């Protein structure tokens, strides 16, 4: 089978949710394989009537696409309206300021890990392959998953597994990893938890789920994914124009809870603030409250099964 960088989930639903305008300025904070960015540019082309781009002044860029992994640039788009941004989306506000953008019409965030990362053994994101226990989205970052497993105390490692992997048996799992040090590869980690003699084909479903949650926890810790998500959402709220929309695809309960509460309330605490008369001060109107992929899409792309799409529009 041909190696595919990434297949975006619910592509049509996400692009429709953005309600793209022909003269709008958009941000794709998770470029990856470029699926969403290409769809946005395609939609802009469909909507063009004359030279709408003149209406946004000297800046002809209509789409800024972020990715902290420079390997994503292999999927670069040849379009004068497109700008690749090599950076973590947590610095959205900083980069937009650098490019002179003070407001945007829409933002898309696909929080799923690209197929490319899961399917490349050397990236260490999956226990399907034996490779370095790495998991860095940005390969220039200093801390790897192996560093965490081999240097954290039992208490700190258990905390990571409990909070980010939602593993109730986090403490004994952390102890096993400590006893197996040095844990340098993905299969070192697997062997520490299930024993030397194992195979993917015969792996107990409960153990497979446990390993999936463990790898998720380490990946989130390595990349500070939830902290970056909170920073990005706050910047997106401030950058969006009245009537602008944000569309976010989540893939596990931790990130989905953050997105759901933020879009409902407009703040990271999830608290809906009200004015003197009891009216909500939440800045968003919810357009899509957690759409799942269709059975037909899941049949074509099983990794879309866990995707949830949330879309909100900023009040005028």
Question: Which pLDDT tens digit goes with each residue over 196-227?
Answer: 988 888 899 999 999 999 999 999 999 999 99
CA–CA separation, 70 and 85 (whole Å): 9
Query: Measured between alpha carbons, how far is 119 from 140 in angstroms, rounded to an integer?
Result: 20
pLDDT in tens, 48-87: 754 444 444 444 889 999 999 999 999 999 999 999 999 9
User: pLDDT tens track of the chain, all 316 residues?
Assistant: 345 667 889 999 999 999 999 999 999 999 999 999 999 999 998 887 544 444 444 448 899 999 999 999 999 999 999 999 999 999 999 999 999 999 999 999 999 888 888 889 999 999 999 999 999 999 999 999 999 999 999 999 999 999 999 999 999 999 999 999 999 999 999 999 999 988 888 899 999 999 999 999 999 999 999 999 999 999 999 999 999 999 999 999 999 999 999 999 999 999 999 988 988 999 999 999 999 999 999 999 998 999 999 999 999 7
In whole angstroms, give the CA distance from residue 117 to residue 126: 8
Structural domains of the chain, ranges and CATH numbers in brackets: 11-115+226-314 (3.40.50.150), 125-223 (1.10.150.170)
| Residue 92 and residue 29 in contact, taking contact as beta carbons nearer than 8 Å | yes
- Helix 186-194, helix 170-179: angle, nearest 10: 120
Structure tokens at 22: 């022909």
Is 252 within 8 Å of 165 (Cβ atoms)? no
CA distances to 60, 106, 127, 270, 304 from 309, in Å:
29, 15, 27, 18, 11
Residues 6+ apart with CB under 8 A from 178: 154, 157
Are the C-beta atoms of 176 and 192 separated by less than 8 Å? yes
Please give the Cα distance from 4 to 146 (Å, whole number).
27
Q: State yes or no: cis peptide before 299, omega within 30 of 0.
A: no
- What is the predicted pLDDT for the residue at 44? 93
Q: What is the pTM of this model?
A: 0.93
Can you tell me whether residue 103 is helix, strand or coil? coil
Given this model, what pLDDT does residue 48 score?
A: 73
Contact 181, 173 (CB under 8 A): no
């Amino acid at each position: 089978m041909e190696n595919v960088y990434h297949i975006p989930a619910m592509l049509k639903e996400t692009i429709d949710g953005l309600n793209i305008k022909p003269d709008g300025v958009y941000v794709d904070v998770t470029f990856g394989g470029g699926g969403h960015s290409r769809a946005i540019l395609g939609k802009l082309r469909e909507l063009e009537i004359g030279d709408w781009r003149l209406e946004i002044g000297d800046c002809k860029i209509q789409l800024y696409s972020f990715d902290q992994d420079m390997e994503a640039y292999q999927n670069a788009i040849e379009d004068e309206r497109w700008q690749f941004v090599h950076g973590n989306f947590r610095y959205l506000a900083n980069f937009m300021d650098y490019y002179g953008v003070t407001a945007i019409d829409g933002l898309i965030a696909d929080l799923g890990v690209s197929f490319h990362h899961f399917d490349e053994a050397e990236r260490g994101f999956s226990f399907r392959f034996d490779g370095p226990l790495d998991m860095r989205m940005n390969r220039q970052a200093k801390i790897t998953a192996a560093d965490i497993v081999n240097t954290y105390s039992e208490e700190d490692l258990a905390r990571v597994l409990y909070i980010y992997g939602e593993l109730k048996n986090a403490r004994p799992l952390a102890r096993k990893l400590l006893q197996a040090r040095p844990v340098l590869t993905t299969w070192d980690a697997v062997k520490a938890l299930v024993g030397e003699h194992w195979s993917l084909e015969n792996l107990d479903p409960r153990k497979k789920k446990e390993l999936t949650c463990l790898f998720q926890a380490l990946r989130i810790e390595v990349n500070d994914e939830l902290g970056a998500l909170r920073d990005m959402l706050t910047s997106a709220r401030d950058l969006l124009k009245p009537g602008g929309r944000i569309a976010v695809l989540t893939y596990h309960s931790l990130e989905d809870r953050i997105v759901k509460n933020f879009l409902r309330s407009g703040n990271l605490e999830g608290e809906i603030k009200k004015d003197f008369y009891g009216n909500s001060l939440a800045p968003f109107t919810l357009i899509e409250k957690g759409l799942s992929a269709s059975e037909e899409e899941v049949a074509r792309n099983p990794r879309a099964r866990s995707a949830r799409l949330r879309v909100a529009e900023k009040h005028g």
